Amino acid sequence: MSRGIRASVCMATYKGAEYVAEQIESIVAQLGPDDELVIVDDCSPDDTAAVIVSTIDRLGESRVFLTKTDTNVGYVRAFEAAIRRARGRFVFLSDQDDVWTPGRHELMIAGLSRSLVVAGNHSILGRNGARLWYPPLRARGSRRYLANLFAIMIGYRPYFGCAMGFRREAIDGGILPIPEYVTESHDIWIAITGNVRHSIRHLDEVVVERRLHDSNQTPLGIRGLPTILAARRRFARLTAEASRRARVARRARAARRARS
């Protein structure tokens, strides 16, 4: 980690040429001089990467860094690659086609002052504060860890990666490596990690306006029963894995204290 980097925003892109410039603009408008935007393009077949480069040049930005995968690895692995490249003390996730709300960046950094993970709310771009059908996150529910895990299993806790972030201490041996069987819902894995470790902060505020369109990776409607059941089995498996990693982390901390 570079000691000079405060916060890293990690974005994964794929066929996002239409909207990515607007999203980059909304992000860099909030970055401080010691922040960075790390973009991993997942081998887009269109001109997404060219649009990103053009946007960086047009804005005269030295805080934005683009890398490209050699093959299409899927958005979870692209986000994982971006997180590995991040150098900041705080790490935030960003989709390629949303718009950040004013003040989001500093608000979320403040939310990480005492928690490993922070999660805010979303609204739908252009729909006057409307949201998807999920009930909003509430700050008062931050410490209801078992209730949050149960809500994840049921499927009504709105943890979206585009509205989440975490401290660097949560990465190695915690969030990363993302389990190999996770091909979607990396945001749920991060939320599970925060709740299992009793260190997650919910924000009442809306921190991102989500753009809904036919190419969204997040499903916009209710899925079929087999898909829902498979997801719940995966979430249970992820909870067990997060608990195992938390135990390993506790033992490591205890060993360090004993040596000192």
Strand residue runs (E) in 129-199: 164-167
Spatial separation of the C-alpha atoms in residues 83 and 12, rounded to whole Å: 10
- Taking residue 191's Cβ as centre, other Cβ atoms within 10 Å add up to 28
Q: Establish whether the linkage from the previous residue to 177 is cis, with ω within 30° of 0.
A: yes
pLDDT of residue 43: 97
Spatial separation of the C-alpha atoms in residues 46 and 29, rounded to whole Å: 26
Q: 93 with 162: CB under 8 angstroms? A: yes
pLDDT (tens digit, 9 = 90+) per residue, 123-152? 998 776 677 778 999 999 999 999 999 999
Query: Who contacts 96 (Cβ-Cβ below 8 Å, separation ≥6)?
Result: 11, 12, 13, 14, 16, 19, 20, 23, 48
Strand partners, 92: 9, 165
Structure tokens, 205: 């505020």
Q: 85 with 38: CB under 8 angstroms? A: yes
pLDDT of residue 160: 95
Domains of the chain: 7-254 (3.90.550.10)
- Taking residue 146's Cβ as centre, other Cβ atoms within 10 Å add up to 9
Cα distance from N-terminal residue to C-terminal residue, the chain: 24
- Taking residue 11's Cβ as centre, other Cβ atoms within 10 Å add up to 27
Could you tell me the mean pLDDT of each successive run of 10 residues in the chain, 260 residues long?
83 97 97 98 98 98 97 97 98 96 97 97 82 87 97 91 97 96 95 98 96 63 73 94 96 90
* 3-class state of residue 201 by DSSP: strand
pLDDT of residue 1: 46
